[in-house]
A = this chain, B = another copy of it.
């Protein structure tokens, strides 16, 4: 549980346009969630997320993955930035790098990812295209804690969206993304309020997330 008056310091990692970052910034600004974005880290210089952070008056740091010899060295540099800004919870918001144990052990069960499918369906890249190729009629998005696997970490929340006969990859992507923009800030609000607890895996099972009721 977190102290009742604390504001959760988020570090947002992004590689792209940063629309999920924008949704998080909106929720922190409006006071919908008791959190603030302490720093935004991008691995590519032209990520629009960097501009969005600067416009919002949030420290925006470029850590180019090309400057590091290994994923672990890159992650160590990212961890250093996150720690320097007092980050308590890391959000992967369209971050197109596989994170290593260097990041995960620095923020155990405090790295949150949003994935554009209802896991365990359609893990990995191009989840929307996978759903269309499969002929799924329902897809959605998943917010989960990151573990060492690919999209295998304990699930915090999921929301469904319909897949329409007229959909192509961009239309399905947009529908799922709109749902991500609602779900991700909502989950971060739960974490900020100390309502999210993880029960460790037992006898071969999965770690489970328990979200307690709002006080």
Contacting B at CB under 8 A, from A137-180, are 137-138, 140, 142, 154-160, 165
CB of A133 within 8 A of chain B? yes
Given known A165-B211, A210-B165, A211-B165, contact A120–B134 (CB-CB < 8 A): yes
Size range of the interface on A?
20 to 34
From A121, A133, A140, A211, residue with most partner B Cβ within 10 Å: A121
Given known A121-B121, A140-B160, A160-B140, contact A135–B208 (CB-CB < 8 A): yes
B165 touches A135 (CB 8 A): no
- For A165, list chain B residues within 8 Å (CB): 210-211
Number of copies: 2
From A118, A135, A138, A209, residue with most partner B Cβ within 10 Å: A135
- For A210, list chain B residues within 8 Å (CB): 165
Q: Which residues of A contact B (CB under 8 A)?
A: 118-122, 133-138, 140, 142, 154-160, 165, 205-211
